[in-house]
């Protein structure tokens, strides 16, 4: 895992390591989603999928959350898709899961004569 993280940092380059915080879309995201909220939403995320990494990636795509008016919807859509595609969603809501079988009908009791 550490090797993947080092490769990602190398790919990002020194300029992005600090300059990403100056991007308008990153500032917009930070106003809607804090680091603490990120940690709450993704408690088991691998280190490479950190809040900082997400902001650095967003900085590479300035049109993502480029408007404060649409950013919340863009984030919701993005996270809905990544959750679904990563397999971390609750499959019971998306696949045909058969419920537990119903309890058997009680046996009819003989009627007194």
What single DSSP character describes residue 30?
A: H
Q: What is residue 14's predicted lDDT score, i.e. its pLDDT?
A: 56
Could you report the per-residue pLDDT of 66-83, keeping only the tens digit for each? 998 999 999 999 988 887
Residue extents of the structural domains in the chain: 2-75
Query: Whole-angstrom Cα distance, residue 75 to residue 45?
Result: 17
97 touches 91 (CB < 8 A)? yes
Query: Whole-angstrom Cα distance, residue 27 to residue 41?
Result: 19
What is the value of pTM for the model shown? 0.62
Q: Decide if pLDDT at 42 tops 60.
A: yes
Between 49 and 72, where is the model more confident?
72
Q: What is residue 91's predicted lDDT score, i.e. its pLDDT?
A: 52
Mean pLDDT over residues 50-59, rounded? 93
Look-up of token digits 């919807």: 73
Task: Please give the C-alpha separations between residue 73 and each of 17, 29, 51, in angstroms, as whole numbers.
Answer: 27, 11, 18
Q: Which range (7-16, 23-32, 61-70, 91-100) has the least confidence?
A: 91-100
């Amino acid at each position: 895992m550490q090797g993947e993280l080092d490769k990602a940092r190398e790919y990002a380059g020194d300029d992005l390591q600090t300059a990403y915080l100056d991007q308008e879309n990153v500032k917009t995201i930070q106003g809607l989603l804090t680091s603490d909220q990120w940690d709450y939403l993704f408690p088991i995320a691998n280190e490479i999928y950190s809040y900082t990494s997400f902001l650095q990636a967003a900085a590479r795509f300035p049109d993502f959350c480029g408007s404060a008016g649409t950013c919340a919807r863009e984030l919701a859509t993005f996270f809905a898709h990544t959750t679904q595609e990563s397999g971390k969603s609750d499959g019971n809501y998306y696949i045909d899961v058969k419920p537990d079988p119903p309890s058997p009908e009680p046996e009819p009791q003989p009627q007194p004569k």
